[in-house]
Amino acid sequence: MSCSKRLVDWSLYVITDAGVIGARSLLEVVEAALRGGTTVLQYREKKKTTRGMVEEAVALSALCRRYGVPFLVNDRIDVALAVEADGVHLGQDDMPLETARRLLGPHRLIGITVHNREEIEEAQRGGADYLSLAPVFATATKPDHQTPMGVDGLKKLLAEVTCPAVAIGGINADNLAQVLGAGVDGVCVVSAVLGRDDPENAARTLRRLMDEVRRHRIEKPQ
């Protein structure tokens, strides 16, 4: 069973991180990233209370609706349901996909982080809507990640994928072209956008580079 197909632009998938945003306003930083061309936003928060998460998620969800961008919640299905998010993203240690689908219903997006062929096969059998292949490179935003696979490893995993797939882990403007060249539908970033002094310009720069890579791919002689 292959993954469901949804009309989502996965190009620039931005994930929030309180440690990267620092003392700045979360809403202001995220809105700047949305202005710059973010196409999917995932709210990831590990330290706030449930009430605090719901309050932030309500505001972020409204912001994403204004920009026409899907809003996903990391892990917390209760929060996603409370704010009527577009879906959730699950890690390998989070709630099983089958249970999450039963709670969320058929219309919300469910994505899963995968690291190897076995996890890809399980996620696809379960009907995940998209996969996040991790990690491509080392990243400080998640120091406990598994060994980076590199671009060659990413290509090998993509050969097993039958649904939308995004790459995550240390991706930035310097290595973006390599990652896109592997064939992913988009990239997940944290520091490369939200960690910059000017998130709008950072997002716009990545989108411009994406457009250049894709245009070159189309124009390249067969």
The pLDDT value given to residue 38: 98
8 within 8 A of 42, measured Cβ to Cβ: no
pLDDT for res 143: 74
How does pLDDT run across 164-205, given as a tens digit for each residue? 999 999 999 999 999 999 999 999 999 999 999 999 999 999
Domain that includes residue 107, residue range: 12-219
**Domain holding 215: CATH number?**
3.20.20.70
pLDDT band, residue 2 (cuts 50/70/90): very low
Q: Please indicate, yes or no, if residue 7 is contained in any of the structural domains.
A: no
Q: Would you say residue 129 lies in a domain?
A: yes
Residue 132 is assigned to a structural domain of this protein: yes
Kindly state whether residue 71 falls inside one of the protein's structural domains: yes
Query: Does 4 fall in a domain?
Result: no
Average pLDDT of the residues in 147-154: 97
Output the DSSP codes for 68-136. Answer: T--EEEES-HHHHHHHT-SEEEE-TTSS-HHHHHHHH-SSSEEEEEE-SHHHHHHHHHHT-SEEEE--S
